[in-house]
A and B are shown apart, each in its own frame.
Chain A
């Protein structure tokens, strides 16, 4: 078995807007893949498509469960579970913690050992003793604990793949590390795979095995974390990394403007209007002309590392 989920040329369009515009990538068993990008890169739309919350316009999402059976995307697929950016919003204020965690089991009518399984999921998520949390309501616990409840609600289904949408972006700085450590621990203990969407390169450095950098609906660079964050090749990844406050060794490369509207994706290379490499005039003329006339295409999902850039060889 080579992958838990395989995305093949996935497109998600909203009218003229090409939010996700041809993404191909595999998530392998037991790996943490970070999908990194700014807002407008299509990363959240993509993860929602993998979960089945968002219909796919074109392309395929092939899910292979541990049992070997192949199924469609995640919705209604117990092997794929999702956690969210805002744990407060993800919890129904009218439900107790017990009801929230048990919800997946109840939807699937798996009532045997419900109490035990809910208790186990809560303690695995670090809420111990679980019985203390059973009757509580979300507003009675802290933000970090709420995210743990969301994680318990996903883990009670014993998934193969956990989708995480900015899992720590709304949490306090000191809580962040604890939640990330929990996610790593779950991977180690259960062999889970995680696809995490984030704008936070530090998060990728903390937990990801591989990083995929998204720009305007496409993955522009893909490879092992150490390589992408250590020796980035795509000019967008390089610029992004140079402005991360956590790195001080690079010269800042602040790009002008913001990600273009996905209704007006630039022709040829989608990054060329903002590309510092192209603007520097250092590129050989034949490469520079390709940048403005020819699309480098999506990266190869089977390659060990790849960058969608004419200047990268």
Chain B
């Protein structure tokens, strides 16, 4: 296998707050091969967005990070500001959630797509940028005349396509999509997911797709990683994780969005008691034990590590 596009090792991220340090990510390790896709799922506060931002060093000042992130063979935390700028956009690009706020309301969509190309000089001239932006619009399924449209003239789905076009502007090898479909309607979500799948078929784009909706991930991701309280609690091939979930949290998350037609969930919604833990005040032992339907005494003392739970499938639970 070739060198991974992204290799994350023991990454830990701690924010500073007035009430003390907040450990948002507590030791995450994974590799992403070229052309592969990883789905990262978890609830608010589990650290998934922090992780995404850390992958391009987009964290606020004063945040403490430890561990290693190798992006395309380079050590992310050792990069100079210039090297970092080159890595952003050209090696890895991010598509944020909330398509409305991520675009500048007073610039046309086309100009915003051209901007990263001109800044990173991946094109020789303004004219070349225009040609390229037209190609990109075609690629994401937008008519060329919308290059001159302002964000408010576009629908939610179209804005999300513009953001994807922007992310693709400098031909990145890695695309990080942070809840790109959360605010979108069902049909538009399906359109965007289909677009992402198509983009991946066309090129060897690697993808990290972040969401709280596990069922979406089985569409776009080859592998799944479930995060809880700043750690990966289960990871493995998508279908294996979704259908043979080992960790009780993954099982609850998978059951949260019912399979329509499945009589066991008909008039029987399933959820978890309690609330996701706040990163600043994690319970001792396994952080999931206060909500876990299968918790035992030993779960209150020791935090389990990831263990083999099947073919390329690992889970952090004492029951594995």
Which residues of A pack against B, CB within 8 Å? 38-39, 142-145, 172-181, 184, 199, 201-202, 205-207, 225-226, 229-230, 239-241, 243-249, 252, 254-255, 258-259
Contacts and interface: CB of A to CB of B under 8 A. Distances in A.
A258 to B, nearest CB: 5
Interface residues of B, number: 42
Nearest to A145: B275
A247 B261 contact: yes
Given A245-B218, A247-B261, 15 more contacts: A38-B187, A143-B44, A145-B275, A173-B256, A174-B253, A175-B275, A177-B270, A201-B260, A229-B260, A240-B186, A240-B187, A246-B258, A252-B190, A258-B155, A258-B187
14 contacts: A38-B188, A172-B44, A175-B272, A178-B272, A179-B271, A181-B271, A202-B258, A205-B260, A229-B260, A229-B261, A245-B218, A247-B260, A254-B191, A259-B185
Interface in B150-178: 155-157
- A interface secondary structure, majority: helix
Nearest to A141: B275
B204 interface: no
A258 B276 CA distance: 35
Given A142-B275, A239-B187, A241-B260, A181 B269 contact: yes
Interface stretch (B52-60, B110-118, B125-133, B207-215): B207-215
B281 interface: no
- B interface secondary structure, majority: loop
Contacts of B215: 245-246
Nearest to A39: B185
Contacts, number: 123
Interface string B228-255: 0000000000000000000001001101
B212 A199 contact: no
Contact of A176 (B216, B260, B271, B275): B271
A94 B287 CA distance: 33
B185 A178 contact: no
Contact of B269 (A144, A207, A239): A207
Contacts of B156: 39, 258
A208 B44 CA distance: 27
Nearest to A230: B261
Given A38-B186, A239-B187, A178 B258 contact: no
Nearest to B45: A172
Nearest to A183: B269
Interface string B179-206: 0000001111111001000000000000
A174 B218 contact: no
Contact of A173 (B188, B190, B257): B257
A145 B275 CA distance: 9
Nearest to B228: A174
A178 B257 CA distance: 12
Chain B CB within 10 A, most for which of A178, A225, A241: A178
